[in-house]
C-alpha cells in the first residue's frame, strides 16, 4: 500500500511528522504493509524547482494508493505564471477528488460549545465559487478595469448529483437525514440547479429524510442546536465555511479532519491552514492531520476490503481522541500544555497500549 507524504508549508512538516510517527506505530501493531514515499510541495519546492508543485508530484499522487497532504500557504505564493501553483487544487482536480468529507463531533474531555454535535459535512470539491476550479483554461476571476472585479461560479448537474449521492449513502449508514445547504433566494439559477439535482438523487433513498436550509440560517442553527443535523451536503464555498464553524463548535480547528475522496483515490488533508505564525514552535495541534489520515486508512480499508486497515483507523481515532481529551497531554488550543511532538508521542503510546 503506497502512501505519498507531502508535508507542505508552515506547521505542515510538524503535524505531518507527528502523523508519520503514529503511522509507524500502527504499522508495527497491525502489519499493514504501508510504504511511505516523501516528496516536496509549497515554498520549499518553489525554492528548489521554481514552482510550488511539479508535474512529477501530481503523477506520483495519481500512482499512489493514497496521499497525506499537509497545509499550504497559498496566500504568499507568487502568481501562477511565476510558479505559484496551488497543490491542493491541482491534486483535487487532477485526481478528480470531488467529495470533501469533514466530520465534527463532541469528544469526552474536549471543551465544546455544542455538546450534542455529531455531523458530517459533505462538500462538493471541484467547482462552485472557487474560481480556480471553474475554467478549463485560465481562471474564473478577472478585472476589466481598476474599479471592477468579476468572478464566475460554476454549478453542474453532474457534480451536484455525485456529491448528493455521497451524502445520501453516508446518511443511510448514520441517522438517515441529509440537510442540503443553499441560497436559492439570491442564487436562483445555480443553487436552483443544485437543489433540484439533490432532490432527484434523494428519490433513490426513500428511507433518508431530506431538508433544505438557507446558508445564513444554517450558520445560526449550528450555534442554536447543532445536534439536529446528521449529514450536511453543500456546494464548495458554503461547505468550506460551515465546516470550519462546526469544527470550532466541536472544540477546535486543530481537530478538524478532512478527506478528499474520488472514485479511485483519496487524500488526507486537515481542514485548517498552514498557521505560519506558529510554525516551528512545537505548539501546533497535530490531531486534525492524524484524524484525516485515519479517514484515509478507513477509506482504503473499504476500497480494498481490508479489515486490518479499518481496525487501524479506529485505533488511530481512539488514540487521538483520548489524548485530545487529557489536559496533561493535549495542546494549548484546547486547554493543554503539551507540544506537537509530545501530543504525537502520547498518541503513539495509546496505539501501543490499545488492547493490551
Known catalytic residues are 130, 183, 216, 240, 244
Q: How far apart are CA 222 and CA 219, in angstroms?
A: 6
- Cell readout for 311 is 481496525
- Contact (CB, 8 A) for 121 and 213: no
Letter string b/e over residues 324-352, b meaning 16 or more CB atoms within 10 A of that residue's CB: bbbeebbbebbebebbbebbbbbbbebbe
Close Cβ partners of 169 (under 8 Å, ≥ 6 residues apart): none
Q: How far apart are CA 20 and CA 30, in angstroms?
A: 15
Please tell me whether residue 74 adopts helix, strand or coil conformation: helix
Q: How far apart are CA 27 and CA 6, in angstroms?
A: 19
- Contact (CB, 8 A) for 142 and 212: no
Amino acid at each position: 500500500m503506497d502512501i505519498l507524504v507531502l508535508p507542505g508549508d508552515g506547521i505542515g512538516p510538524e503535524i505531518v511528522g507527528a502523523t508519520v510517527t503514529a503511522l509507524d506505530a500502527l504499522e508495527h501493531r497491525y502489519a499493514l504493509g504501508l510504504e511511505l514515499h516523501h516528496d516536496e510541495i509549497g515554498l520549499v519546492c518553489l525554492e528548489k524547482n521554481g514552482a510550488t508543485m511539479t508535474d512529477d508530484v501530481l503523477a506520483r499522487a495519481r500512482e499512489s494508493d493514497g496521499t497525506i497532504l499537509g497545509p499550504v500557504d497559498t496566500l504568499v505564493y507568487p502568481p501562477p505564471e511565476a510558479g505559484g501553483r496551488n497543490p491542493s487544487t491541482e491534486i483535487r482536480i487532477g485526481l478528480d477528488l470531488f467529495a470533501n468529507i469533514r466530520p465534527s463531533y463532541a469528544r469526552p474531555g474536549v471543551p465544546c460549545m455544542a455538546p450534542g454535535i455529531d455531523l458530517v459535512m459533505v462538500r462538493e470539491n471541484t467547482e462552485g465559487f472557487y474560481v480556480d476550479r471553474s475554467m478549463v483554461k485560465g481562471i474564473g476571476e478577472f478585472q476589466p478595469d481598476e474599479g471592477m472585479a468579476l468572478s464566475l461560479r460554476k454549478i453542474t448537474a453532474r457534480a451536484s448529483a455525485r456529491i448528493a449521492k455521497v451524502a445520501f449513502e453516508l446518511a443511510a449508514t448514520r441517522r438517515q437525514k441529509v440537510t442540503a445547504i443553499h441560497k436559492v433566494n439570491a442564487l436562483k439559477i445555480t443553487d436552483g440547479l443544485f437543489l433540484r439535482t439533490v432532490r432527484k438523487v434523494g428519490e433513490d433513498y426513500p428511507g433518508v429524510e431530506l431538508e433544505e436550509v438557507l446558508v445564513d440560517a444554517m450558520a445560526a442553527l449550528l450555534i442554536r442546536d447543532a445536534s439536529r443535523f446528521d449529514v450536511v451536503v453543500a456546494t464548495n464555498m458554503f461547505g468550506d465555511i460551515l465546516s470550519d464553524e462546526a469544527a470550532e463548535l466541536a472544540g477546535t480547528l486543530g481537530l478538524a479532519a478532512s478527506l478528499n475522496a474520488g472514485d479511485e483515490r483519496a487524500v488526507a488533508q486537515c481542514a485548517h491552514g498552514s498557521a505560519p505564525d506558529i510554525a516551528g514552535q512545537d505548539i501546533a495541534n497535530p490531531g486534525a492531520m492524524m484524524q484525516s489520515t485515519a479517514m484515509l486508512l478507513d477509506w482504503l480499508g473499504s476500497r480494498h476490503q481490508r479489515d486490518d486497515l479499518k481496525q487501524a483507523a479506529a485505533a488511530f481515532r481512539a488514540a487521538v481522541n483520548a489524548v485530545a481529551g487529557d489536559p496533561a497531554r493535549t495542546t494549548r488550543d484546547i486547554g493543554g500544555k503539551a507540544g506537537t511532538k509530545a501530543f504525537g508521542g502520547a498518541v503513539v503510546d495509546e496505539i501501543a497500549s490499545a488492547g493490551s
